[in-house]
Chain A
Amino acid sequence: MVLILSDGVDKSVNTVVRYLYLKNAHPIVIQNSDISTIIQLSINEFTIFREQNISSDKISSYWFRRGQLNIENNIIDCYQQSPLINYIRDFGKNEIGSYISYIYYLLEKKKSIGSIFKSEINKLYVLRCAELCGLSTPNTLVATNSDSLLCFGDESLLIKSGSKFFSYTINNLIINSYSSLVKVNSLPESFFPNIFQNYIEKQYEIRSFFLINEFYSMAIFSKNDEKSIDNRKSFLCNRYVPYKLPKIIEQKLFDLMQKLQLNTCSIDIIKSTDGHFVFLEVNPDGIFENVSYFCNYQLEKKIANYLAKKND
């Protein structure tokens, strides 16, 4: 049995699942909307119930795509409000949370792809590790006032969020936290802490998907007449082609993956106009569909093959 944890069942999860069926690997997908119950949990094994018994000794491999495991919690079912009930409710949540996280731990001891414990990774920590691995990174500063930005010596800087991606739609207006270029002199004197980086003139961007010890890379050429900082904004006018990173860069990235203990993630790199590879960030739950499709890497099939393979 192959267990897949995913926030929902989209096309690529579906494709992996079909390949698994074709290999008689018996996939089971648990999505965010599924509520499971704990049948038993010991130090070495567990059994949960979700339409059927799913026990750890039957699971041969595990893919953490995204999302989470939801376990039935009947304390929360009580709708009364009082300081005591709220306190008990929090307590119940934590109790269940600790069991779920041990189940994750047991799952990740199996042959697995992805890790829920790595799904939120500190951007600044990643940059430090990247530097330690010998990768070039942009100058980075978390600033709260415009004076401290003068040390960059640049008129314009890149501003980005430090944690998760933010997106909110109100009255058809989408507010989000894509990286964007700001003029230093247009900023107020002091502001909410933000990550600032020097803007690196690029020839093209590289998105590399790391999977089972291989880098599957894609170069993204943006249309020259558009100053798109973050390529998610201008999807159709770009050119996406397969790319092979130089061995030495792959080695450094591999060291970084080891340091961060990631066995899969998507990596953003810039090839600057002066010919350098500049590491930007990693996304542990990075999307691989585009890389897979545009470069015909067939990553869905590779994932399924890996999960279905019996011995290793």
Chain B
Amino acid sequence: MDCHYIILFANCIPVKGVNRSLICDLQKNNISIIPNELYDLTILFDSNSVDRLLVYYGLENRIIVQDYFNFLIESGYAFYCQEDEIENFPSLDIDQFDLPSLISNAIIEFDSVDGDNIMHVAKELDTVFCSAIEVRFTKKIEFADLENCISLFNGNDIRISEVHVVVTDNYFNLDDLKNLFVKNLKLTTITVTGSLKQCEISDFSYGNSHIFFTTLNSHQPICCGNFIPNSFTTNMYFFIESQHHNTCLNRKIAIDKDGNIKNCPSMQKTFGNIRDDKLLTIIKNEELTSKWNISKDEVKVCRDCEFRHVCMDCRAYVEDPHDIYSKPLKCGYNPYTMVWDEWSINPLKQAAVEYYGLQKLVKN
């Protein structure tokens, strides 16, 4: 064969961790764990022909290197090409990230359905071009109220394009819930907490709509930020956003039931109130926005972790509550040993667990 070079497809990006690496396939949205040896090899691809690499690694490693090539080709991560074609295949520009929104997502808590208040919140969110919202009801509400609330956010004159709802079960009728999706095209998911059964319904044909029933009692902020092995988010936007931004907090705000505006529902600091302040002014607050730009590359431990660009961050619960750059508390992964442990029983984390008052959660 006359193909002299091997190169990775631009959307199959290797990420090096302290002890092992990943290949993140941002088109097919999956990851493969690879040895750091192979990572180091891929770095040489652009400037060395296959033959040169084989010579460079020596006769004793020839079979291994050849196996690596085969693995990359067979997994569809790489392809062979001619020397003069290399410059035709630029890398993906992962430093460009932007969204047509000043705030891309908001979590809003309501304890009751007050139409005027909801309209006010919706109009405020419009001024910052918010595109997705999650509405959480902190108390049980009647179906009619739920319906009313969703329809207010669904209006044509509101720029929000995605509505997620979290609501406590109140003997809702499944068909009624399904019908909400027919009338409200922006409605994307409904999560029903405190339900008798645990299940997901997505077999009806309104776009990407889903209804989740969960036996969890309510969506408490302290439940947020859990890290579960193999529950990473591999996709292009996430990966690109993670280069220079915080994957959880970037362009996010939370509005609690009293109208206080925060980075997220689990954080204490408030930056004003939706009833008195303009969102356009509040999002100029640097203390609020500085957390948007804490990328994993700046977070202790995470910056050495191979999962850093597919892992949702959490700044609300961190190992050292006095250091905003410390590792997420609820992650049990140790990139130095490559072992996943239960975070809540780690003796080194107990001080932080107590600090956040998470003991109750940890016990059950």
Which residues on A are within 8 Å of B, measured CB to CB?
14-15, 18-19, 21-22, 219, 221, 239-246, 275, 293-298, 300-301, 304
Contacts and interface: CB of A to CB of B under 8 A. Distances in A.
B27 A239 contact: yes
Nearest to B25: A239
A301 B93 CA distance: 15
B228 interface: no
B9 A241 contact: yes
B10 interface: yes
B92 A296 contact: yes
Interface in B83-101: 87-94, 96, 98, 100-101
Given A244-B88, A298-B98, A18 B129 contact: yes
A22 B88 CA distance: 35
B159 interface: yes
A296 B159 contact: no
A22 B87 CA distance: 36
A241 B12 CA distance: 10
Interface in B74-89: 76, 79, 82, 87-89
A304 B99 CA distance: 12
A294 B96 contact: no
Given A243-B88, A243-B89, A221 B79 contact: yes
A293 B88 contact: no
Contacts of A243: 88-90
A90 to B, nearest CB: 36
Contacts of B189: none
Given A18-B159, A21-B129, A293-B236, A242 B92 contact: yes
Contacts of A22: 100, 102, 129
A241 B11 contact: yes
Nearest to A238: B27
7 contacts: A14-B161, A18-B100, A19-B100, A239-B9, A239-B27, A244-B88, A245-B88
Contacts of B87: 244
A296 B88 contact: no
A275 B83 CA distance: 12
Given A22-B129, A294-B27, A298-B96, A244 B101 contact: no
Contacts of A240: 11, 27
A22 B161 CA distance: 16
A241 B76 CA distance: 13
B89 A296 contact: no
B240 interface: yes
Nearest to A245: B88
Nearest to A221: B79
A19 B102 CA distance: 10
A116 to B, nearest CB: 26
A294 B27 CA distance: 8
Nearest to A300: B100
B251 to A, nearest CB: 12
A294 B11 contact: yes
A293 B93 CA distance: 11
A19 B98 CA distance: 10
A275 B88 CA distance: 13
B86 to A, nearest CB: 10
Contacts of A21: 129
B90 A296 contact: no
A286 to B, nearest CB: 21
Contacts of B102: 22
B101 A18 contact: yes
A292 to B, nearest CB: 11
A246 B100 contact: no
Given A244-B90, A295-B93, 14 more contacts: A21-B129, A22-B129, A240-B11, A240-B27, A241-B89, A242-B89, A242-B90, A244-B87, A294-B27, A296-B92, A296-B240, A297-B93, A300-B100, A301-B98
Contacts of B92: 241-242, 295-296
Contacts of B236: 293-294, 296
A237 B236 CA distance: 17
Given A221-B79, A239-B76, A296 B9 contact: no
Given A295-B92, A300-B100, A241 B10 contact: yes
A68 B10 CA distance: 38
Contacts of B159: 18
A22 B91 CA distance: 29
Contacts of A294: 11, 27, 236
Nearest to A240: B27
A3 to B, nearest CB: 19
Interface string B92-135: 11101010111000000000000000000000000001000000
Of the listed residues A15, A242, A244, A298, the one surrounded by the most CB atoms of chain B closer than 10 A to its CB is A242
A206 to B, nearest CB: 9
Contacts of A296: 92-94, 96, 236, 240
Contacts of B96: 296, 298
Contacts of A221: 9, 79
A300 B205 CA distance: 29
A298 B237 CA distance: 12
A31 to B, nearest CB: 13
Contacts of B82: 275
Contacts of B9: 221, 239, 241
Contacts of A14: 161
Contacts of A246: 88
Contact of B100 (A15, A219, A242, A297): A15
Contacts of B90: 242-244
Contacts of B91: 242
Interface string B51-91: 00000000000000000000000001001001000011111
